[in-house]
Amino acid sequence: MSDTTEIGHVEALFRYPVKSMAGESLQSAALGWHGIEGDRRLALRKVDNRGEFPFLTACKLAELVRFTPVREASAGPDVAPTHVRTPEGQLLPIMGEALAAELSKRSGLPVQMMHLRTGIFDDAAISVIATSTADELCAMAVVASDMRRFRPNIVVRLATPAAFAEDAWVGGVLSFGEGADAPAVSVTQRDIRCAMVNIDPDTAGIAPALLKAVVRVNENNAGVYGTVTRAGALTVG
């Protein structure tokens, strides 16, 4: 007798080439041992910071979410971006001094872009959230439901919608597809949220009510983190 239960389907896939900058919506993605290929391989390092987390994020500079990594027109989807488009439309080389100077000026901190092949993550390489959880929290905060606020990699639409159903997945395995070789993620912990969820991904406006809702109704957790246990191809649907 199988102990596998079908819980829903993949509603959306996202990756974020530069930590805290605008993400990409994908129809399919390669799931490797270090998460989705191309996800958070670049980040802005605070030059004078020697702490455990020396990266500039949108929690410090909300405008970062409006900076968009850009690939060359002829490049494939898995080729690293070469430039960043500023909110004003200026295109700057991603590893260039001009971008670093612009973001240093806006943040008041000297920064430089760095690349790490295995990714630059907060707690784990994969984050998963259900649409019902995001919808419930946005409704509580009276903001338009927008999955991008939660910056997930994998969005699941549950067969039986229920907010915070992901909490029960901790300690289990999510298998994406049928068969013994289907890509899989071991769910390791709940996703503890920060002020990132308050940031409107289009305007960088702040809605503090959203994080307050997460704290009030689910101990500051929304979604889950996981570790890849089987690599493979993920596809929406």
Percent above pLDDT 70 for the chain: 99
Q: Residues 11-21: pLDDT tens digits?
A: 999 999 999 99
Segment 170-174 mean pLDDT: 97
- The DSSP secondary structure of the chain, one letter per residue, reads -------EEEEEEEE-SBTTS--EEESEEEEETTEETTTT-EEEEETT--SS--EE-TTT-GGGGG-EEE--TT--TTSPP-EEE-TTS-EEETTSHHHHHHHHHHHTS-EEEEE-TT---SS-SEEEEEHHHHHHHHHHHTS---GGGG--SEEEEESS--TTGGGGGTTSEEE-SSSTTS-EEEEEEEEE--GGGGB-TTT--B-HHHHHHHHHHHTTEEEEEEEEEE-EEEE--
Do the Cβ atoms of 58 and 206 come closer than 8 Å?
Answer: no
Segment 18-25 mean pLDDT: 97
Range in 44-53, 102-111, 160-169 with the lowest mean pLDDT:
44-53
> What confidence score (pLDDT) does residue 209 get?
98
pLDDT band at 73 (very low <50, low <70, confident <90, very high): confident
pLDDT band at 76 (very low <50, low <70, confident <90, very high): confident
Q: What is the largest CA-CA distance in the chain?
A: 61
**Structure tokens that stand for 30 in this block:** 């390669």
Query: Is the pLDDT assigned to residue 4 strictly greater than 90?
Result: no
Q: Residues 91-102: pLDDT tens digits?
A: 999 999 999 999
Query: Is the pLDDT assigned to residue 123 strictly greater than 50?
Result: yes
Query: Is the pLDDT assigned to residue 1 strictly greater than 80?
Result: no
**Structure tokens that stand for 60 in this block:** 């410090």
> What confidence score (pLDDT) does residue 178 get?
85
> What confidence score (pLDDT) does residue 2 get?
58
Tell me the pLDDT of the chain averaged across its residues: 95
> What confidence score (pLDDT) does residue 236 get?
97
Q: Residues 28-72: pLDDT tens digits?
A: 999 999 999 999 999 999 998 877 889 999 999 999 999 999 998
